[in-house]
Amino acid sequence: MNFTSWGAAEQVTGSMHLIELQDGYRVLIDCGLDYEKDRSSVENEIFPFEPSSIDLVILTHAHIDHSGNLPTLVKNGYNGQILCTSATADLCQILLTDSVNVFLAKNKDNKKNRRGKNEFKHAPLYLHKHVMDTMDRFFCVPFHKKFEARANLSITLIPAGHLLGAAAILLEIQEEDNLKRVVFSGDIGRYNYPILADPETIPDVDYMICESTYGGRLHSKDKTVEEVLIENIKHSCIDTPGRLIIPAFSIGRTQALVYSINKIFAAKKLPPIKVFVDSPLGMAGTDIYRKHHHLLNDSAQAFYQSNGDQFTFDSLDYIETLNESKQISDYFEPCIIISSAGMLEGGRIQDHLYFNLQNYYCTILFIGYCAKGTLGRKLLDGIPMVKIYGRELYVFASIKQTDLFSAHADQNGLLNFIMATPPSKLKKVFLVHGEKSSMQQLAAILNEKEYQVCIPQKGKQFIL
Ligand SMILES: [Zn+2]
């Protein structure tokens, strides 16, 4: 069989890998948006293969850099099925819909041409109709259930932590007398993450295509999630009558955060402080976490048995309308505000920053990565003044950061995943989904342990 990486090769986003069996059957693993291209531009629209030539798509998880180009694939002629877990399908429904809304929002200032028609500055990559057409192609398989796609190919989805429904994919391919086991890691989660079960390892693998986002890094271990939250809530809302603003991605981080705060209040480790979750997408995502509660980890299940819903408590308010969101700035008691976008690029968090950046009694706690050039990154780099809604604002609020909510395995977690198969059996590890330096650091350690490692270039074909 052949393997070609067409995305997330020597970079993080745009996951898209092709496996072609000896008899010509073609399987695409993931079809994500490449953030290094303009997300709504034609660059994401051009596929290096004919979409109608793909026989099956398998999706590891719902994050847009893995799923966000599926509607483009369908729009351009793919008419097969998209196989994934049902939690992934549910999350895709809201994330792909949100993706269209992001494209459309970019065009809200479009001018009309002389005939009164919209002239798109950034033509949307796809529309709601294409998302609906894509959702019709989803085909759900539970974790661990071997799915016989055809006589020479079976597929098993293995829990990968990271995000609700996220899976590593085990392909078992019969070639003449040989059965080859090929694993695509998708994104591997970290151990002991709030709510999510730990990633599982997969033994006896012949070839592995593994992510390497944090291949060059170890997560800090000196404090727990709970200790960091208690410290920040105490500092911002109890010792001083202020506010704690936590920018968070709506799906995944927000649920982990709400559950962690719920646990602190339920154990009476702090008096209950008002918490606002100001993210409609976050609310929709939370309902999906509730629906698939059987996938949550043992500790979250035990919490449910003794305390009820992990995502509800007395002092918590989910904010729906824009009007309610605006009223939060009039709330004068100490409070915690969880809102998106995580990197502060757009979203309702902008209003909260606008009214609070100049507040000495406000702390902004970053719990995720902020890319270069984003407002989040500027604040983390210590910029003294920023412009929001055309107004220059001093940054008097405290800016803090923790990596404890990162949903990716660090170097040790990745090594643990790969080394479940010894180097004598694992013929080659392909590293993808990482910056080059992370890949090289992980590759060096694997080489020392006698693994054969390759960092594939985009479009280069390998025989497995
Ligand atoms: Zn992911």
Q: Tell me the per-residue pLDDT of 273-300, one tens digit each, with 9 for 90 and over.
A: 999 999 999 999 999 999 999 999 999 9
Do 313 and 352 lie in one domain? The reply is: yes
Give whole-number Cα distances, 361 to 229, 274, 353, 366, in Å: 17, 16, 13, 16
Give whole-number Cα distances, 288 to 73, 91, 250, in Å: 25, 7, 12
Residue ranges making up the domain that contains 76: 2-217+407-463
Q: What is the pLDDT of residue 102?
A: 83
Give whole-number Cα distances, 125 to 38, 77, 138, in Å: 10, 15, 20
Domain boundary among 354, 372, 401: 401
CATH of the domain at 291: 3.40.50.10890
Do 172 and 277 lie in one domain? The reply is: no
Q: 58 CA distance to ligand 1 centroid (A)?
A: 15
Q: 162 CA distance to ligand 1 centroid (A)?
A: 7
3-state secondary structure 204-217: CCCEEEEECCCCCC
Q: 390 CA distance to ligand 1 centroid (A)?
A: 34
Q: 300 CA distance to ligand 1 centroid (A)?
A: 21
- Beta bridge mates, 207: 182, 428
DSSP assignment letter at 329: G
Q: Are 426 and 418 in contact (CB under 8 A)?
A: yes
Calpha distance 252→255 (Å, rounded): 5
Do 395 and 412 lie in one domain? The reply is: no
Collect residues with CB below 5 Å from ion ligand 1.
63, 187
Do 197 and 250 lie in one domain? The reply is: no
Q: 184 CA distance to ligand 1 centroid (A)?
A: 13
Domain boundary among 386, 401, 416: 401
Do 89 and 63 lie in one domain? The reply is: yes
Do 51 and 157 lie in one domain? The reply is: yes
| Mean predicted confidence (pLDDT) in 324-329 | 94
Q: 151 CA distance to ligand 1 centroid (A)?
A: 31
Do 337 and 292 lie in one domain? The reply is: yes
Q: 447 CA distance to ligand 1 centroid (A)?
A: 26
Do 131 and 73 lie in one domain? The reply is: yes
Q: What is the pLDDT of residue 8?
A: 82
Assign residue 159 a region: left if phi > 0, alpha if psi is -120 to 50, beta otherwise? beta
Residue 59's pLDDT band (cuts 50, 70, 90): very high
Do 172 and 212 lie in one domain? The reply is: yes
Do 425 and 451 lie in one domain? The reply is: yes
Q: 285 CA distance to ligand 1 centroid (A)?
A: 15
Do 372 and 427 lie in one domain? The reply is: no
Q: 209 CA distance to ligand 1 centroid (A)?
A: 15
Q: 85 CA distance to ligand 1 centroid (A)?
A: 14
CATH of the domain at 453: 3.60.15.10
Domain boundary among 401, 423, 438: 401
Q: What is the pLDDT of residue 49?
A: 95
> pLDDT tens digit string along 222-244?
899 999 999 999 999 999 999 99
How many structural domains are present in the chain?
Answer: 2
Do 414 and 309 lie in one domain? The reply is: no
pTM metric for this prediction: 0.93
Sign of torsion over alpha carbons 442, 371, 237, 359: positive
> Angle CA(184)–CA(190)–CA(196) in degrees, nearest 5?
95
